[in-house]
Structure 1
Amino acid sequence: MVETGRVIQRRYLLQRLVKQGRACTVYQGFDQVLQRVVAIKVTPADYVATYRAALRLTSQFSHPNIVGIYDLIVEPDCLYIVQEYVDGDDFPALLQTQLSAFEVADLGRQICLALVYASNSGRKICHGDLTPSSVIRDRRGLVRVSNFALPADMQYFTLWSGVGGDGIAISDQQLPYGQISEGRLADDARAAGLLLYQLLTSRAPGATFVEPPSDGRLRFQRGVPPELCDIVARAVIRQHPQRLMTPEMMYLELKDLAEALEPLEPVQSSYQTEDMVKPRQIMPVASGAPGGLPSQERAPTGLLSYHPEATVSGLLDRQEVSQPLLDPAATTEAAYQQATAMNSSPGYPPVEQNYARGNEAAPVDAGRGVNWPLMIGLGLVLFALFFFIGFFLSQAVFHA
């Protein structure tokens, strides 16, 4: 352990001890050159080669869900890793917080995003040591993952190997740390599932860690959506017929579920009235990966309705059925019957029948058949005629 108050390389001030890890000690420090808070990991000499190899593989990582590395300082007796300082809740603190199903699904989604980034075609790095000490969530809800390409914590993974792990702690132990393989991709997805399970299972108030169940059976708290339990089980249980074999598969499942579980924010308007408020439309939410969850409906409350008996092939497609066309010969009769039914229904005022039935003649409107332009023109002609007659008569009388 290094004494706090020490300045490393005339730049980094060790301010306080954050935690003592399995292979390193973490301090909060201060970069006196760039005037910013940093985290400083101090690694003993026995682990220097291992950490330097891991940093060579991950030094170019740049992702919102991965803790950034700033500097590396090598001394004869230890290694100092200067990295981004994340102010937030570590995993023990998250265990003491009653997280909602949405928060757990979103936390898992963000962890998988970091794993997918590390394992894509440009980097091809597996995490290999995704344990509670590798995850922290900052004050804004952004999850940050660290400790990529380090030796697996065999004590932790052996302890949890009896929970759907067939007694296997990790796969492909002969490969170098961080090297990608199908087995290690599945192990990373399983490690993410174990973290989510610990957040979803029952535990004593104030507990900072979770012991695996002695019988190896997964048990969730009441109220956890069955879809979330299903995703965790498919990631953790190695023999599951629909096992999630990669972090990407798990990400797609959690992404859809997190979107379905996300609480709806009320829309406020200063001029909105009760007449303007309309019911929210229920939208279907479908799984985004093969072998995924059946289509669900998002309820207005933000909760996901679940039908355990439904399967992808068993759900009916929601299709609109077009109305059959009426027979032209029956159109008149159908219209007459409809009008008659409406007029005879209670609450409808009586209206005049204007529909012809069979060969019966419809009543003629008294106002129809009058040629109004002709009548107006005739009236103007008569007015002009009487005007001229009156004019000539008046002239004759005055001149006489």
Structure 2
Amino acid sequence: MDEILLKGRYRQLAEIGRGERTVTYKAQDTSLNRAIVVKVLRERFATEQDSVDRFQNAARAMAGLSHPNIVAIHDIGSDRDLHYVVTEYVEGQNLESLLASQAPLTPEEALDIAIPVCAALDTTHRAGHVHGQLTPRNILLTRDQQVKVSDFGVVDAPLSAREQSPSLYAAHYLSPEQAMGRRAIPASDVYTLGVILYEMLAGRPPFTGDGFSAIAEKHIREEPDPLSQANPQVPGSLSALVHRALAKTSTARYKTASDLEEALNGYRRQRGKIELLERIGPEERPASSGRHQMDREIRAHPRGVAEEKVPSSRAMQRSGLDWVGCIMGAVALVAILGLIPLWLSVFLRYFA
């Protein structure tokens, strides 16, 4: 795309990305005077009508979706031998750049990114579409910390039929079924997001290798190192969620992106409760925690606590009146007084 007005409207400003099938440019929409992104199908695919149709039809289908975490599509078309898609321009950086400078992320930072991606994937899956090539490069982070996913529908064919020389980078984010040359399904996106979650928390992808085939084989046959081994700061419960998303068979993973989103939100809620209890003092904790406090006191001072809660009779005697003796004396007095009438009648009968 030279320094021309594409379709008499879009002026190229700079190339900002180059993928297996497309070249991406930052451009200026001269009609609306705004920055946009123009994604152009690469020359060797532009001559294949099937590739052109798939590229534009997928973009046309995604243009019907509106979601705050999905990059909006503004226009689709062709100009001479150039086939393009115009999308919104996201000011910020992609996840790949963030990981290059800050990996590993904290669990909270990773969740802040993964949960919106789940929401974007779920919307797409419900509409009958699959991303199929999710990577940190197409997870975009705005300056105000909003997450947006791009490049939906750019790929819609099995890997073996799609590329003659697939990139090593893409191999890190394959699902096992894609690594075997099968078409991507919604569970494939769940697996790939599991890979990205692992990378955010561990600081590296779960599988690496010297070539595309070596990495693809690991996705199919090998289990990743436990997250707790790669990063001991990752809680075990979060590690378990990520490893379930990385299950080799699609039926063993979370069934949908929505299920994964729910699991991540559930972990966050539970973690928040634990952290809250750790921050507040014992006197501010719920009443249900009193029993645990009592148990700790008994374990620490078993005799002292028991004596304080249940005073002995000897201690009671030291503290004041002997109440048992008083009661027994009162009973004896009543019994003696009750005999006075009997003694009086006997005296009057025999001695008067």
Say whether the fold is shared (TM-score over 0.5). Answer: yes
2-structure distance, mates of 1:106, 1:341: 64
Q: Is the alpha carbon distance of 1:319 and 1:91 closer, same or farther for their aligned partners in structure 2, counting shifts above 3 Å?
A: closer
Aligned to 2:2: 3
AA paired with 2:202?
T
Q: Which string of whole-angstrom CA distances, capped at 9 and with x for unpartnered residues, describes residues 225-247 of structure 1?
A: 22222111111122599532221
Q: Which string of whole-angstrom CA distances, capped at 9 and with x for unpartnered residues, describes residues 23-67 of structure 1?
A: 111111122222221111122324422211102221111001100
Q: Is contact 2:207-2:224 (8 Å) kept?
A: no
Among residues 275, 290, 304, which one is paired with 1:298 in the alignment? Answer: 275
Q: Is the alpha carbon distance of 1:168 and 1:116 closer, same or farther for their aligned partners in structure 2, counting shifts above 3 Å?
A: closer
Among residues 15, 19, 23, which one is paired with 1:21 in the alignment? Answer: 19
Aligned to 2:140: 136
AA paired with 2:93?
D
DSSP-derived class of the 1:74 partner: strand
Aligned to 2:259: 249
> What is the deviation of 1:3?
2.2
Q: Which string of whole-angstrom CA distances, capped at 9 and with x for unpartnered residues, describes residues 88-123 of structure 1?
A: 221321221232111112211111111111122xx2
Among residues 106, 114, 123, which one is paired with 1:108 in the alignment? Answer: 114
AA paired with 1:298?
E
Aligned to 1:188: 189
2-structure distance, mates of 1:301, 1:7: 60
Aligned to 1:32: 30
Structure 2 counterparts to residues 312-323 of structure 1, below 5 A: none
> What is the deviation of 1:258?
3.4
Is 2:86 the counterpart of 1:82?
Answer: yes
Q: Is contact 1:65-1:111 (8 Å) kept?
A: yes
Q: Is contact 2:198-2:206 (8 Å) kept?
A: no
Aligned to 1:385: none
Q: Is the alpha carbon distance of 1:164 and 1:24 closer, same or farther for their aligned partners in structure 2, counting shifts above 3 Å?
A: closer
Q: Is contact 1:160-1:169 (8 Å) kept?
A: no
Larger Rg: 1
Q: Is the alpha carbon distance of 1:34 and 1:27 closer, same or farther for their aligned partners in structure 2, counting shifts above 3 Å?
A: same
What root-mean-square deviation, in Å, do the aligned CA atoms of Structure 1 and Structure 2 show?
3.8
Q: Is contact 1:25-1:43 (8 Å) kept?
A: yes
Is 2:238 the counterpart of 1:228?
Answer: yes
**How does the TM-score come out when normalised to structure 2?**
0.65
Q: Is contact 1:67-1:83 (8 Å) kept?
A: yes
2-structure distance, mates of 1:58, 1:21: 19
Higher fraction of helix: 2
- Which sections of structure 1, spanning at least 5 residues, go unmatched? 174-182, 204-208, 263-282, 284-296, 303-317, 322-336, 362-400
**How does the TM-score come out when normalised to structure 1?**
0.58
Q: Is contact 1:101-1:261 (8 Å) kept?
A: no
Q: Is the alpha carbon distance of 1:25 and 1:319 closer, same or farther for their aligned partners in structure 2, counting shifts above 3 Å?
A: same
Is 2:42 the counterpart of 1:41?
Answer: no
Structure 1 vs Structure 2: percent identity of aligned residues? 23
Q: Is contact 2:116-2:147 (8 Å) kept?
A: yes
> What is the deviation of 1:164?
8.6
Q: Is contact 2:63-2:73 (8 Å) kept?
A: yes
Q: Is the alpha carbon distance of 1:83 and 1:227 closer, same or farther for their aligned partners in structure 2, counting shifts above 3 Å?
A: same
Among residues 263, 268, 289, which one is paired with 1:258 in the alignment? Answer: 268
Q: Is the alpha carbon distance of 1:38 and 1:110 closer, same or farther for their aligned partners in structure 2, counting shifts above 3 Å?
A: same
1-structure distance, mates of 2:135, 2:16: 18
Q: How many residues were matched structurally?
A: 274
DSSP-derived class of the 1:188 partner: helix
Q: Which string of whole-angstrom CA distances, capped at 9 and with x for unpartnered residues, describes residues 327-377 of structure 1?
A: xxxxxxxxxx879999899xxxx89999x974788xxxxxxxxxxxxxxxx
Q: Is the alpha carbon distance of 1:48 and 1:164 closer, same or farther for their aligned partners in structure 2, counting shifts above 3 Å?
A: closer
AA paired with 2:154?
L
DSSP-derived class of the 2:145 partner: coil
2-structure distance, mates of 1:18, 1:210: 27
1-structure distance, mates of 2:18, 2:264: 32
DSSP-derived class of the 1:51 partner: helix
Q: Is the alpha carbon distance of 1:221 and 1:187 closer, same or farther for their aligned partners in structure 2, counting shifts above 3 Å?
A: same
Structure 2 counterparts to residues 1-400 of structure 1, below 5 A: 2-4=1-3, 6-44=4-42, 45-46=46-47, 47-96=51-100, 97-98=102-103, 99-120=105-126, 123-151=127-155, 154=159, 155=166, 159-160=171-172, 165=176, 169=179, 173=183, 184-203=185-204, 212=208, 216-219=222-225, 220-239=230-249, 243-260=253-270, 283=273, 297-299=274-276, 358=327
Q: Is contact 2:99-2:203 (8 Å) kept?
A: no
2-structure distance, mates of 1:54, 1:16: 25
